[in-house]
Amino acid sequence: MTHVPSEDSHKIQVSTAKSPPPNSKRTIAHELESMETSARPSRCRETNGGPAGPCNPWTGKPFSSLYYQLEEKRRALPVFQERERIVEIVKRNRVVVLQGETGSGKTTQVPRLLLEAGFQRIACTQPRRIAAVSVATRVAHEMDVRLGELVGYTIRFEDVSHPKLTRLKYVTDGMLLREAFQDDRLSRYDCIILDEAHERTLSTDVLMGLLKGILKQRPELHMVVMSATLERDHFCTYFDHAPLLNVSGRMHPVDIRFAERPVFDYLFAVEQQVRQIHENEPAGDVLIFLTGEEEIEDMCSRLRHYSRATARKHGAPLQVLPLYSALPMSVQERVFEPPRPPEARKVIVATNVAETSITIDGITYVIDPGFAKVKIYNPSTRVESLLVSPISQDSARQRAGRAGRTRPGICYRLYTEEAFRTELPARSHPEILRSNLCNVVLTLKKLGIHDLIHFDFMDPPAPDTMIRALEMLFYLGAVDEEVELTQLGRQMAEFPLDIQIARMLLESPRHGSSNEAITLAAMLSVPNVFLRPRQQADEADARKQRFVVSDSDHATLVRVFEAFMDHGCDRQWCAENYLNDRALMHAVNIRRQLELMMQRMGLRICSPGRRAPDRWIRLRRCVLEGFFSQTAFWMRRRDYLTIRDEQLVGLHPSSVIRHRPSWVVFHEFVLTTGSYIRTVSQIEPKWLFELPTKYYDLLEYKEGASRRALELAARLTGQRRSAAP
DNA sequence: TAGGGTTTT
């Protein structure tokens, strides 16, 4: 019996963290355990009088027909050609930096080669869940083994791996970091591969620093850092001059064409470029990179208009397709379908999703205006915001590469070669330099790292950012005066949540409302669930009214979630109510996970009941328990002033709050056309003084508007603290 | 009264 992977094998199998994978059998365990580490095909015994064929050393069974198909392709990959060199250099060095271009096969082949070379347990990290799943599936097929046994994967909510059998595990970088919570030397692995290291995600950066320390403690551990673009100096130097291996890719040539002179209106230039391609260049699909939803929808209508106006003159029409992550899945998937009508030229107008996360084959022309929205963090105001910025040279190369996946292509850069060299930074700023570090610091503390300032980050964050993070952890009760992790802090780190949300959950049983708080925590952890297509904005707003709790955006979110559950998580119902079903389904999963965690920690799951008049009051108090540092009081007309930082802000127009409460708590501060606070709830000022935190000690405030507002609030609510000078 | 790039636990 051969195991032929079918379409079903691609489906995601779900199992809980500690249970064995589906269909695991003792016989396979036996086979694997008795197997030698080097995997050379052996001969199978003759069965049923048939001839003896080559036999899969991992299973002892004859190979399937699919195996031979995949094997042929795999042997043609550049990495396969270099296999001996790769294995040798990894075995001889503790750390190796492997630079393999797109199409080299590094992600599928390197881990397997190392397994076959005798490593006992290998983890290979991926920045994205979908990559971990699809690569693990591919490798299991290539090795002709069942997914979840020898080869498996672990991502949040899904563990398709076996504690004993799995020897090659693909895992999201965040998940491996979590594993280090249980085992801070990651001692089950003798080889750890960090893939896509050039993306420099927060988790990969923390893992790199952590692993550098672990390497010193565990002389048997080997590590491979795999990266696509040239950052050789940076990676090699960081890992004490680790050797660099370079494997060529298999890409088709891409002709790069720069603008001859600077472009001032890139949207206009994009449109001109599409016309030029459509009217003069041979058939082939076009991919355009823009910065956001609004720009994309605008461009789509301009291009559709052009297509309608000129279809007769130029023969084939354009099929214009938007692509950004907030789009419903069904709309996103259209970019993979054949064009409609069949003779049309597809024009995909995308955000950065198309740069790394979503790969579309068959693109011949790429148009790159050279901008993207980037998250920036300002530690002095503690505001994270999005800013349209020039992309990096690395990013520009990545975009260009999207044109040469299946055949030679052209990339039109709407900036001059001079600008490319002098105005674009060589590399993107790693995320760790652009983020609020509260959770990173808490993670490091939990991992037992005491000297945070000297933690060996590849790019150390600004001291100010670290200090701000520590200060916040202190106010939240996660660390004490000696900057030691408290019991509360340990619990907060367990939760896969922003620490403020974790704190809200931990305090919620005290307010008799942990049930609602868990729902809210899940809703705050997923993207905005309210859809508002420009054409149907009024209708969408009207639908949202059905869920409104007039003094709280937080409570409104809880009501939306409950209504979603009441309607059986129905997608159609979501569509009718302009709600993002994907985000809501995700919230359902998160909620389930959080509830289990709460129960395991012995925290009470309680609710005042849906009809209780004080239900939303309790919830708003829970919110304040986590977000007490994000309150604001009404100043004048439309303006609020944030406490402590005294920033003048407006209520975001998406808020359900129509009156002007004197005090509010908010979830986030956004900087767009103005300064806004978004996801807001009314609070009673007296609650501030009942919080178990020093944050509202009047002594902590300099003379100013905030202090005066607090003094007034204290006086009005009869707080004795107001008497303090 | 307006916009949210992308990921992950």
pLDDT digits 0-9 by tens, A469-501: 998 999 999 999 999 999 999 999 999 999 999
Query: Mean pLDDT across the stretch A138-152?
Result: 95
Poorest-pLDDT segment among A9-13, A78-82, A283-287, A403-407: A9-13
Residues A685 and A645 grouped into a single domain: yes
Q: Is nucleic acid strand B under 7 Å from A181's C-beta? A: no
Report yes or no on A462 lying in a domain.
yes
Rounded CA–C1' distance between A384 and B9, in angstroms: 20
Query: Mean pLDDT across the stretch A249-253?
Result: 83
Residue A17 has pLDDT above 60, yes or no: no
For A392-407, write each residue's pLDDT tens digit.
Answer: 998 999 899 889 888 8
Residues A609 and A692 grouped into a single domain: no
pLDDT number for residue A343: 87
Residue type, A18: K
Cβ atoms within 10 Å of A217's Cβ, excluding its own = 10
Query: Nearest nucleotide to A667 by CA–C1' distance?
Result: B4
Report yes or no on A725 lying in a domain.
no
Nearest residue (Cα to C1') for B9? A496
Residues A487 and A609 grouped into a single domain: yes
Sign of CA dihedral A138, A143, A149, A154: negative
Q: Is nucleic acid strand B under 7 Å from A724's C-beta? A: no
Choose one of A247, A276, A311: the last residue of a domain. Answer: A247
pLDDT number for residue A566: 95
Residues A458 and A597 grouped into a single domain: yes
Poorest-pLDDT segment among A91-95, A261-265, A558-562, A636-640: A636-640
Nearest residue (Cα to C1') for B8? A174
Q: Which residue, among A535, A562, A15, has the nearest Cα to A301 in the 3D structure?
A: A535
Poorest-pLDDT segment among A28-42, A124-138, A184-198, A301-315: A28-42
Rounded CA–C1' distance between A532 and B2, in angstroms: 11
Whose structure tokens read 């999703």? A353
Q: Is the CB of residue A537 less than 8 Å from the CB of residue A614? A: no
φ, ψ of residue A212 to 5 degrees: the values are -60, -40
Q: Is the CB of residue A678 less than 8 Å from the CB of residue A670? A: yes
* Helices assigned H by DSSP within A76-171: 78-81, 83-92, 106-116, 129-143
Query: Mean pLDDT across the stretch A251-273?
Result: 92
Q: Is nucleic acid strand B under 7 Å from A130's C-beta? A: yes
Query: Mean pLDDT across the stretch A276-289?
Result: 93
pLDDT number for residue A269: 94
pLDDT number for residue A230: 64
Q: What band does A453 get if pLDDT is binned at 50, 70 and 90?
A: confident
Q: Is the CB of residue A601 less than 8 Å from the CB of residue A491? A: yes
- Residue A640, SS3 per DSSP: strand
Report yes or no on A36 lying in a domain.
no
Q: Is nucleic acid strand B under 7 Å from A127's C-beta? A: yes
Report yes or no on A57 lying in a domain.
no
Dihedral Cα A259, A263, A265, A268, nearest 10 deg: -20
Residues A232 and A119 grouped into a single domain: yes
Q: Is nucleic acid strand B under 7 Å from A673's C-beta? A: yes
For A560-575, write each residue's pLDDT tens digit.
Answer: 999 999 999 998 999 8
pLDDT number for residue A1: 31
Choose one of A247, A268, A302: the last residue of a domain. Answer: A247
Residues of chain A with pLDDT > 90, as a percent, come to 59
The two three-digit tokens of residue A68, written as one number? 């031979």
Rounded CA–C1' distance between A352 and B5, in angstroms: 6
Q: For the whole model, what pTM was predicted?
A: 0.86
Report yes or no on A620 lying in a domain.
no
Q: Is nucleic acid strand B under 7 Å from A88's C-beta? A: no
For A53-62, write each residue's pLDDT tens digit.
Answer: 688 899 989 9
Residues of chain A with pLDDT > 70, as a percent, come to 91
Report yes or no on A383 lying in a domain.
yes
CATH number of the domain where residue A283 is located = 3.40.50.300
- Residue A388, SS3 per DSSP: strand
Residues A315 and A198 grouped into a single domain: no
Distance separating alpha carbons of residues A690 and A510, to the nearest angstrom = 13
Report yes or no on A21 lying in a domain.
no
Q: Which residue, among A549, A586, A593, has the nearest Cα to A560 in the 3D structure?
A: A549
Cβ atoms within 10 Å of A345's Cβ, excluding its own = 23
The two three-digit tokens of residue A644, written as one number? 């402590």
The two three-digit tokens of residue A495, written as one number? 């939760």
A11 half-sphere exposure, CB direction, 13 A CA radius: 7
Query: Mean pLDDT across the stretch A4-30?
Result: 32
Q: Is the CB of residue A351 less than 8 Å from the CB of residue A325? A: yes
The two three-digit tokens of residue A410, written as one number? 């052209």
Q: What band does A520 get if pLDDT is binned at 50, 70 and 90?
A: very high
Q: Radius of gyration over alpha carbons of chain A, in Å?
A: 28
Burial class (CB in 10 A: 0-12, 13-18, 19+), A561: buried
Q: What is the mean pLDDT of chain A?
A: 86
Residues A593 and A540 grouped into a single domain: yes
Residue type, A163: P
Burial class (CB in 10 A: 0-12, 13-18, 19+), A132: buried
The two three-digit tokens of residue A323, written as one number? 């692509």
Q: Is nucleic acid strand B under 7 Å from A129's C-beta? A: yes
Comparing A292 with A386, the larger pLDDT belongs to A292
Distance separating alpha carbons of residues A138 and A140, to the nearest angstrom = 5
Rounded CA–C1' distance between A127 and B1, in angstroms: 38
Number of H helices, E strands in chain A: 27, 23
- Domain residues for the domain of A520 are 437-613
pLDDT number for residue A536: 86
The two three-digit tokens of residue A389, written as one number? 């910025």
φ, ψ of residue A250 to 5 degrees: the values are -130, 80
Residues A370 and A449 grouped into a single domain: no
Query: Mean pLDDT across the stretch A235-255?
Result: 89
Per the structure, the residues numbered 242 to 271 in protein chain A that have their CB within 7 angstroms of any atom of strand B are none
Total number of domains in chain A: 4
Whose structure tokens read 């919110």? A623
Sign of CA dihedral A450, A456, A457, A461: positive
Q: What band does A45 get if pLDDT is binned at 50, 70 and 90?
A: low
Residues A603 and A458 grouped into a single domain: yes
Q: Is nucleic acid strand B under 7 Å from A219's C-beta? A: no
For A314-372, write each residue's pLDDT tens digit.
Answer: 678 899 999 998 887 788 888 888 988 888 899 999 998 888 888 788 899 999 999 99
Report yes or no on A17 lying in a domain.
no
Rounded CA–C1' distance between A709 and B7, in angstroms: 39
Distance separating alpha carbons of residues A421 and A293, to the nearest angstrom = 29
Residues A418 and A303 grouped into a single domain: yes
Cβ atoms within 10 Å of A552's Cβ, excluding its own = 28
Distance separating alpha carbons of residues A124 and A160, to the nearest angstrom = 14
Give the bases of strand B that a protein CB approaches within 7 Å. 1-9
Q: Is the CB of residue A607 less than 8 Å from the CB of residue A592? A: no
